Structure 1
Amino acid sequence: MRSYLLALAFVSLPCVPATADWPGFRGRGDGVSKEASLPTTWSETENIAWAVDLPGYGQSAPCVWKGTVYLTAVEGANREKGFIVALDATTGKEKWRHTFEPTQKAAWGYTISRAAPTPLADDAGVYAFFEGGNLIALTPDGQFRWERSLVKEFGEIKGGHGLGSSPCQTTDTLFVLIDQPGPSYLLAVDKATGKDRWKAEREKRMSWASPVVATRDSKVEIVVSSGGSVAGYDPAKGDVLWELKGLSGNTLPSASVLGDTVLVGAGAGRGMAAEPKAPVKSNCCLTLTTENGKPSYKVAWSAATATASYATPIAHRGQAYFVNATGLLFGLDLATGKELYSERLPALCWASPIAAGEYVYFFCKNGATVVVKAGAEYEVAATNRLWDPKATAPKPAPAAEKSDKGPGPSGEYMDPIVYGVAAADGSFFVRTGTKLYRVGKK
């Protein structure tokens, strides 16, 4: 009877309209751009429309909606100040800036998040979530709509590396995932009022992955790959529709959707020495199905050697692409999982790849971007750099000094680092900790 009721509750909620804008993390959850004229070549002196300095420091990707780029950042030794910034996409000029005091403050570091969750945008404005627990909605011109503190409502957000999960959205609802050593949950929030629609309790786990909106038979569900399992949730009620357990290493990459196909990425992670093959088996492809009128899934394949350590995998034009912790790119057949090739990129990728037309773009941490032609063979169309790596080599950090540039694990300043990218208006918007570049037409 419960399964029957779950099937009845699985209703269709409208997605955000499909446009060439980039409304959130990985666009709409698939990392695929509808842009027809994205650039394929650039350098630190060519094909850069503008580059602007940003306040504070941020690890979130930009989102772009109707000519405005939205970003988040934090400032201070303990992240005492937070920012939501809106820039004109054409000129890079700042339109407005919203400043607030985060509820939960904590020291930052090279491996501790600083404004890591990516904001969301729609016609009503921007929605931004911060690791300090603040969830804020503003109008397109920066006017206050509503704000709430999940820390005050549900308790302190725990975990030594902060919070990295970005919200996802339908036309009327935000979905926020908190997976941590403390109380974990998936929260549905009404976009108009900021009030809860539902709250689904989850088992304690440590993860920085983000929920994503998937579609099955024209019906929407929320897919969460995080900390040992991947599950589908009813967006209207918060009930678990299906769940695959027994995974490992899926703590950083998010699920990647393409229609009814779901790619699950996982890295080796900590504690995997006893099960060296587990992360590989956890890199898999699911097909969303309906069995006896109930939502379900099938495991289409598991990868033989490919892993995805930081960047979320991507599916495009019949292939799947995974990048591991050392920057090794795996190209797989999307239908069968057969490995077509593995090739070394100039560096590992923290930003997730973007696909558009005949190309897939891999944005390396060190500012290099490899443009690969989509297909069964590895063919590089171009390799581009945003800066000269020799000119930005890490330098020793002054003793006993902290900076929003952040000392690395060896006491070095690690910036610049490419954290996230958006594709819109014929350009890429590439974000480092303190800077935003528009790559493409002026």
Structure 2
Amino acid sequence: MRAALVLTLSLSTALSAPAADAWPGFRGTGESVAKGAYPTAWGPKDGLAWTADLPGYGQSSPVVWDGTVYLTAVEGDNREKGYVVALDAKTGKEKWRHTFEPTQKAKWSYTISRAAPTPCVDADGVYCFFEGGNLIALTHAGKVRWARDLVKEYGEFQGGHGIGSSLAQTEDAVFVLIDHRGPSYLLAVKKVDGENKWKVGREQKGGWASPVVATRNGSPEVIASSAGTVIGYAADTGKELWKLDNVVGNTIPSASVIGDRVLFGGGTSRSKEESPAGAKSNGCLKLVSKDGKPTFEPAWAARAGVSNYATPLGYEGVAYFVNQVGVVYAHDLATGKELFAERTDGACWASPVGAGGHVYFFGKDGTTSVLKAGKEFDQIASNKLWETKAKPTPAGGKKDAPGDKKDAPGGEYGDPIVYGVAAADGAFYIRTGAQLFKVTK
């Protein structure tokens, strides 16, 4: 193979492409792009197919497969109870729930994970991981196929914010990234029986970011942007293939793969004088081969763009970064040219979605800003899930009812908060701590 040959990659992720009515994991297949037409305008009284109350409280995103929506949640002052819940996608009615006792318990707060890891789903069932250390595989009917306890096997999770990393998957394995203040690792678990496929150690640093899987010349590759590095691992063996050091602030946003490009983000911006090979925070890598070996080249640096919580999005030739107050920074995906920096209608904790020629920024206060995809800022809609004048239910109650956040317990963290979204079959499934909203045309 010739040196510096650029390899063709895709986010088929070595997993069969899901049907249009599937959103099989965190950010779908890892790129946060949905096919087909999706609604661009809705409100509390227009466009909501249903709203479902959920047991407990959760910060994970929903996943969708063959007409069923799956979610996770925990309950109790110290997260004493865990849930996996299946809802009918058409009606919002609960089909079943699985209840268990999490192993590692801790008093909850808005800055400590509560069912934060998003599960993944395939034709055989749903795979769920919890910050209490429990890794569970269930059938589509809700029966346990296998269960593991990573805390008992490898030690308690250490750090002030808990574990928030979502699962990634290939056809035969799920991948769990544990970056914390104790012995850290990336674990590949066989879907068929829950046994280890491999386990590799990582540097002991805290992080909430999730792995993503790309395919390089037919071979899946696990990419982890977390805790100061971006690393590519061979999905079949766990062998480290390449590594980018000195990344700043990438403890929450995950990597996003678009073709042969990898977008990564962190909580700080770089100065105008820094080069892509210098201290890194937000930018783009190009996946290449040198001397027959997979590696990367720095592509460009997002000199102004910042990703605080949401993972960067690559869609229709544009890379989008959004900071903690809702400012969107757009760059040309190929060259890194700065296109615009404009404020949307609110802070985003959920990662944006590209669909139907539009980019959706799901604000944590229930307001979704809809942009026309392209190299110019063109916001075409601002859509609310709920009215904001009602008094909120205190967090930790049975519901996180809509309300005015300025008077809510916890200040800026007052419920309800939009944590995640799934897009499937022309509908958005938007999750707050204790409710799920289905938005349709």
Preserved contact between residue 281 and residue 303 of structure 1 (Cα < 8 Å): no
Deviation at 1:389, TM superposition (A): 2.1
Cα distance change, pair 277–253 in 1 and its aligned pair in 2 (3 A): farther
Provide the residue aligned with 2:26 in structure 1: 25
Deviation at 1:196, TM superposition (A): 0.2
- Which residues of 2 match residues 48-127 of structure 1 at below 5 A? 48-127=48-127
Cα distance between partner residues in 1 of 2:107 and 2:380: 42
**Structure 2 unaligned blocks of 5 or more:** 1-11, 401-406
Deviation at 1:409, TM superposition (A): 7.7
**Structure 1 unaligned blocks of 5 or more:** 1-11
Provide the residue aligned with 2:304 in structure 1: 305
Preserved contact between residue 214 and residue 260 of structure 1 (Cα < 8 Å): no
Q: TM-score, normalised by structure 1?
A: 0.91
- Which amino acid in the other structure matches residue 159 of structure 2? G
Preserved contact between residue 215 and residue 260 of structure 1 (Cα < 8 Å): no
User: Residue by residue, what CA displacement relative to the aligned partner does 1:290-333 show, whole Å, maximum 9, x if unpaired?
Assistant: 11110000111011110100000000111000001221111111
Cα distance between partner residues in 2 of 1:18 and 1:432: 25
Preserved contact between residue 268 and residue 281 of structure 2 (Cα < 8 Å): no
Preserved contact between residue 351 and residue 420 of structure 2 (Cα < 8 Å): yes
- Which amino acid in the other structure matches residue 417 of structure 1? I
Cα distance change, pair 25–412 in 1 and its aligned pair in 2 (3 A): closer
Cα distance between partner residues in 1 of 2:307 and 2:157: 26
Cα distance between partner residues in 1 of 2:410 and 2:124: 44
Preserved contact between residue 18 and residue 24 of structure 2 (Cα < 8 Å): no
Cα distance change, pair 404–110 in 1 and its aligned pair in 2 (3 A): farther
Cα distance between partner residues in 2 of 1:63 and 1:73: 13
Cα distance between partner residues in 1 of 2:398 and 2:297: 45
- Which amino acid in the other structure matches residue 380 of structure 2? A
- Which residues of 2 match residues 199-348 of structure 1 at below 5 A? 199-268=199-268, 281-348=280-347
User: Residue by residue, what CA displacement relative to the aligned partner does 1:356-376 show, whole Å, maximum 9, x if unpaired?
Assistant: 131111101110111101111
Cα distance between partner residues in 1 of 2:419 and 2:412: 18
Deviation at 1:287, TM superposition (A): 0.9
Cα distance change, pair 408–159 in 1 and its aligned pair in 2 (3 A): farther
**Matched residue SS, 1:152:** helix
User: Residue by residue, what CA displacement relative to the aligned partner does 1:358-410 show, whole Å, maximum 9, x if unpaired?
Assistant: 11111011101111011110011211110112235x68x6xxx9647799784
Q: CA RMSD in A?
A: 2.4
**Matched residue SS, 2:280:** helix
Cα distance between partner residues in 1 of 2:61 and 2:433: 10
Are 1:139 and 2:154 matched, yes or no? Answer: no
Cα distance between partner residues in 1 of 2:302 and 2:330: 11
Cα distance between partner residues in 2 of 1:418 and 1:276: 35
Cα distance between partner residues in 2 of 1:158 and 1:233: 24
Cα distance between partner residues in 1 of 2:383 and 2:408: 25
Deviation at 1:280, TM superposition (A): 8.4
Deviation at 1:233, TM superposition (A): 0.2
**Matched residue SS, 2:244:** strand
Provide the residue aligned with 2:384 in structure 1: 385
What is the number of equivalent residue pairs in this alignment? Answer: 421
Provide the residue aligned with 2:47 in structure 1: 47
Deviation at 1:110, TM superposition (A): 1.2
Cα distance between partner residues in 2 of 1:225 and 1:264: 7
Are 1:374 and 2:373 matched, yes or no? Answer: yes
Preserved contact between residue 211 and residue 223 of structure 1 (Cα < 8 Å): yes
> Equivalent pairs: percent with the same residue?
58
